[in-house]
Copies of this chain bind each other. A is one copy, B any other.
Amino acid sequence: MALVVIGGVAAGLSAAARARRIDPRLEIVVVEKGPVISYGACGLPYFVEGRVREARQLLGYTPEYFRRERNIEVRTGARAVAISHARREVTLEAGGRLHYDHLVIATGARCDVAGFAGADQPHVFTLQTLSDAERMRAFLREKRPRSAVVIGAGYIGLEAADALRRNGLQVTVLDRSAQILGRGDAAFTEAVRAQLETHRVELRCGVEAREIGTDRVGDIPCQMVVIAAGFKPNAELAAEAGVATGPTGAIRTDDRMQTNLNGVFAAGDCAEATHVVTGRPVYIPLGTTANKMGRVAGANAAGKRERFGGVAGTSIVSVFGMGFASTGLSAAQARAEGFSPVSARIEANSRPGYFDPRRTTVELVADRSTGRLLGGSVIGEDGAAGRINVIAGALHARLRAEDFEQLDLAYSPPFAPVWDPLLIAAQQLVKEL
């Protein structure tokens, strides 16, 4: 039996490694179009910043490691250009065909710069691959630009803005939506804006930047540009082979990560996932999800039956040391999904007043008719990740606000106040319901 995996970063390598653990005799080949595999893509902004000093710190495993330790063949610089499912074959750009019994498609996503005129200039960057980051770092070192425009205030855009500002640049971030991060949450957007402004980074929302000049974007002069917008799943190769995509444009799968074609799985940034709150397909490409999907795809491709439990859309981004975290649905998203959202937003200390507390903002959203929690956000310098994860767990468990209010959370002055901000928010929410 032969397993072919297209894509050698998060999802693809998770799939290959998991399949090997389950079936020691499976023949496994991973093809990766880029020059390296297994790099920490989420670490790229910190490499640009300079906190991560060397690119090799972001590299995980090498093809040699996989060959030697896992008996997995990994080919880099190998782009798959066609899949013939009738013949169970993957065709490579350089020629040659790979036979498969099972196939895992982990082709990732791309930042589609085609929509931006002038994107091919040398001072314009994306931040998706290690070579993108190396090119950006070289530009910073050699050209010493003093100003930048970042297009797109998603996670990568915000992290890039943070990294460039810390390199001394004047930075302006543009986003075409009125509210950033896809949550339609004005208060969350304003909190990000306030934190950016504290560090003298400007955020302009509702600005469509389609043309990049030699020394400006629109009316904003700048010496470099980062495009962190226009992300699209790389679903074309799969679609041409008859793999169905879903309403989001990404590859549709069942909960075993199998596509509409028997024996063909998809995982990672090219695939949809089911949202645990709505039960509907969503496209939320994130590194941790990619790894989980890959693991499940690999297990099923190796003959084990495993399911992927879906996503809550949990995420966190650090903007100048402040964590901006969210999970599930914002009130606006909940309304769009047909719920009757009720929300409570509180600000409280992360620790007792005598223990150097940090202000923490928590918002919880519940459905009026059932009391069920639908989502939440946490903003703070201290404990935002831990707190958002408690909300995420509650979403998976379908807890109601009144259940959440009862949680027995840890208390000790170095870590939390006697009433954790999560519980204060829950009490407020229960009152509103």
Q: Does A394 contact B (CB under 8 A)?
A: yes
Q: Report the minimal beta-carbon distance from A421 to chain B, rounded to whole angstroms.
A: 11
Q: From residue 355 to 375 of chain A, which have CB atoms closer than 8 A to chain B?
A: 355
**What CA separation (Å) do A40 and B416 show in the bound complex?**
13
Hey, which chain B residues are within 8 Å of A276, CB to CB? 408
Hey, which chain B residues are within 8 Å of A309, CB to CB? 403, 405-408
**What CA separation (Å) do A2 and B277 show in the bound complex?**
46
Q: Which of A169-177, A193-201, A331-339, A383-391 lies at the binding interface?
A: A383-391
CB pair B403–A397 under 8 Å, yes or no, is yes
Partner among B10, B46, B392, B409 whose Cβ is within 8 Å of the Cβ of A407: B392
Q: Does A52 contact B (CB under 8 A)?
A: yes
**What CA separation (Å) do A40 and B51 show in the bound complex?**
39
Residue among A42, A383, A385, A410 with most chain B CB within 10 A = A410
Q: Does A84 contact B (CB under 8 A)?
A: no
Q: From residue 373 to 424 of chain A, which have CB atoms closer than 8 A to chain B?
A: 383-390, 392-394, 396-397, 399, 403-416, 418-420, 422
Q: Does A151 contact B (CB under 8 A)?
A: no
With A46-B354, A386-B383 as known contacts, state yes or no: A392 contacts B412, CB within 8 Å. Answer: no
Q: Does A310 contact B (CB under 8 A)?
A: yes
**What CA separation (Å) do A418 and B40 show in the bound complex?**
9
Q: Does A43 contact B (CB under 8 A)?
A: yes
Q: Report the minimal beta-carbon distance from A146 to chain B, rounded to whole angstroms.
A: 26
**What CA separation (Å) do A353 and B419 show in the bound complex?**
33
Q: Does A288 contact B (CB under 8 A)?
A: yes
CB pair B323–A415 under 8 Å, yes or no, is yes
Hey, which chain B residues are within 8 Å of A71, CB to CB? none
CB pair B413–A43 under 8 Å, yes or no, is yes
Q: Does A287 contact B (CB under 8 A)?
A: yes
Q: Which of A90-98, A129-137, A208-216, A311-319 lies at the binding interface?
A: A311-319
Nearest residue (CB) in B for A40 is B352
With A389-B390, A396-B399, A403-B397 as known contacts, state yes or no: A354 contacts B52, CB within 8 Å. Answer: yes
List 7 contacting pairs A-B, 8 Å CB cutoff, sorted by A. A42-B418, A46-B413, A309-B408, A323-B415, A386-B387, A389-B390, A396-B403
Which A residues are closer than 8 A to B by beta carbons?
Answer: 10, 40, 42-43, 46, 51-52, 57-58, 155, 276, 286-289, 291-292, 308-318, 323, 325, 327, 352-355, 383-390, 392-394, 396-397, 399, 403-416, 418-420, 422
